[in-house]
Structure 1
Amino acid sequence: MRRGNCKWPSRRRSRSSCPASSPTCRGVKTASRAERKATPMSDEYVKVAAFDELRDDAGIQRTVGDREVGLFRDGDGVLAIDGVCPHVGGPLGEGFVEDGKVYCPLHGWPFDLKTGKCTTNKRAKVECFQTKIEDGVVFVRNQK
């Protein structure tokens, strides 16, 4: 099972021993600490993608307001979570999807797509967003 691109062990490592600039992580865009802070959004639905763009085994990353959002197909519906991993800022919408979880492409942190909770680090969580589909178009609710 593939859990991100990073070859570093996932447990008991110091920040300096697992840089996001390691050869296996290069080329993956990360967000700065300031960009990872929650940005308030207005309370409306925003068109983000065509439903046909989504596959069962992969997500897509979209910008909603000032936020990055990961979109994932869930049968006939769509799940949306904050698209930035709280660990190093990896793009969750580009992560590997399996068993209702997305794995961050940088270090493999798994996040439950329905709750936003990291299943290996109980203190880590990403925000979930409401979605709707109308005429084959996916909308994400900008939540305050």
Structure 2
Amino acid sequence: MRILLNIIWLIFGGLWLALGYFLAGIICCILIITIPFGIASFRIGVYALWPFGKTVVERPTSGIASLIGNVIWLIVAGIWLAIGHVVSAIAMAITIIGIPLAIANLKMIPISLMPLGKEIVDVDAAPTSSTSFPA
């Protein structure tokens, strides 16, 4: 099912979304100081190509530099990317077949807002949080 959803996603918006992230990554890599933003943009672009079966997890080694970078990213690009994802999700949710695509689009909002200090992994390889309740 994931492969079918990824193919539909790729045809109906994922390719254009990924190309936008790749273009932003190339532009960010022009200056040395913005290379971390470019790398983050490339990671999100790959995620935008094939989102089903992937998830975003916090990188445990991220520190204050990621926080500062995320604040800068949020002000410069994150808000606009999130608005784009919301508008795109609304357009996709008009049809029944587009609802899973809209959900995937909304799932990308957190990483488009604050991409530094996060990692995109397979759903099967993602760490699960096990909560034990007292008896």
* TM bracket, shorter-chain basis: under 0.3
Q: Please give the TM-score of this superposition, normalised by the length of structure 1.
A: 0.23
Greater CA radius of gyration, 1 or 2? 2
Q: Please give the TM-score of this superposition, normalised by the length of structure 2.
A: 0.24
Q: Which has the higher helix share?
A: 2
Q: Which has the higher strand share?
A: 1
